Amino acid sequence: MTTKAEQIRSQVRDHYGAAARQVAEGSCNCCTPGPNPLDTTDSFGVGQYAEHQLADLPAFAAAASLGCGNPTMLANMEAGQRVLDLGSGGGIDVLLSAKRVGPTGFVYGLDMTPEMVALARRNIAEAGVENTEILEGTLEDVPLPDGSVDVVISNCVINLSPDKGQALAEAFRVLRPGGLFAVSDVVLSRPLPPVAHELLGLWAGCVAGALTTDEYQAMLTEAGFTDIEIVPTLVHDRAAVAAIAASFDTSGLTDPEALLDDVAGAVMNAFVRARRP
Ligand SMILES: C[S@@+](CC[C@H](N)C(=O)[O-])C[C@H]1O[C@@H](n2cnc3c(N)ncnc32)[C@H](O)[C@@H]1O
């Protein structure tokens, strides 16, 4: 890995390690604009889920939700299927998917942050769900065999990867032929100014690492995927981007307000679907 990639990974791990600890203590400011994920707007976190989905979840699983969508609604999961959740965090999508695939199916979560792995395992134990396993590892080196899952889901994580080409190649490798990639993610409608990509806090806040929709399409194609759909669902305005920026140090910037003007309106939640042929 390059030094820059190592710095990104370390910043992201520190950020989500702290988030997992804060969730366990009852407060968090992560990809979400509010100080508490239970108080999020509709753009991030638990607000993306239907009430009936949340009803049976342990409180900490819902509170740990840091996603930008609901990938469990993007895939037509069937009983008996095997699912992998890339960057599973506190495990909300693992638990919801485990219910969908039933006792004959199996759901793997994968996360590189030890505190998140511990939080997800605790939530799964509390929910009494047995058809899941949380793996500790990275998107760029998935610890599963080739063709071992039917569906890959992910919620607000691909944008955080310092090597998205490798992460998408790994998603393709572990899917069986015909398998579905069904992901919620942050994407860009236009490139950000170069200075934005240098801000590690903005990267950990799910903005600076996001791909434009054209870049995403090209990288999925390069990885071998077909039937690619990228559909923006929400555009983040200036206030939303300012709320994310407020959680990290912008003192090194000569003109933070100008940067916010440049970034506002470019950042979107989207769903991304593609198939391994
Ligand atoms: C924004 S949170 C989303 C968590 C979860 N998907 C959800 O919806 O609540 C991002 C998660 O991805 C994990 N993550 C980020 N980059 C990763 C990588 N390259 N490999 C594995 N996990 C990663 C972080 O540790 C964190 O738990």
Per-residue pLDDT of the chain (277 residues; tens, 9 = 90+): 789 899 999 999 999 999 999 888 765 544 544 333 333 345 677 878 888 888 888 888 888 888 898 999 999 899 999 999 999 999 999 999 999 999 999 999 999 999 999 999 999 999 999 999 999 999 999 999 999 999 999 999 999 999 999 999 999 999 999 999 999 999 999 999 888 887 888 888 888 899 999 999 999 999 999 999 999 999 988 888 888 777 777 777 778 888 888 888 999 999 999 999 9
Q: Give, using CA atoms, the residue closest to atom 13 of ligand 1.
A: 87
Ligand 1, residues at Cβ distance < 6 Å: 12, 16, 31, 64-67, 87-90, 92-93, 111-113, 116, 138-140, 155-157, 160-161, 206
Place of tokens 């998935």: 142
Q: Which atom of ligand 1 is nearest to the CA of 160?
A: 16
Phi and psi, residue 221, nearest 5° = -65, -45
Round to the nearest angstrom and report the end-to-end CA distance of the chain.
30
Distance 115 CA to ligand 1 centre (A): 11
* Overall pTM surpassing 0.85 (yes/no): yes
Residue closest to 271 by CA, chosen among 45, 71, 8, 58: 71
CA of 76 to the centre of ligand 1 (A): 23
**Alpha-carbon distances of 18 from 15, 105, 181, 265, rounded to whole Å:** 5, 32, 29, 28
> What is the C-alpha separation between 47 and 155, in angstroms, rounded?
13
Structural domain boundaries of the chain?
3-275
Distance in Å, CA 160 to ligand 1 centroid: 7
User: How does strand 211-212 pair with strand 132-136?
Assistant: unpaired
The angle at the Cα of 163, spanning 161 to 166, to the nearest 5 degrees, equals: 115
How far apart CA 87 and CA 113 sit, in angstroms, is 9
CA angle 25, 98, 62 (to 5 degrees): 25
The closest-lying atom of ligand 1 relative to the alpha carbon of residue 13 is 25
Specify whether domain 3-275 bears CATH 3.40.190.10: no
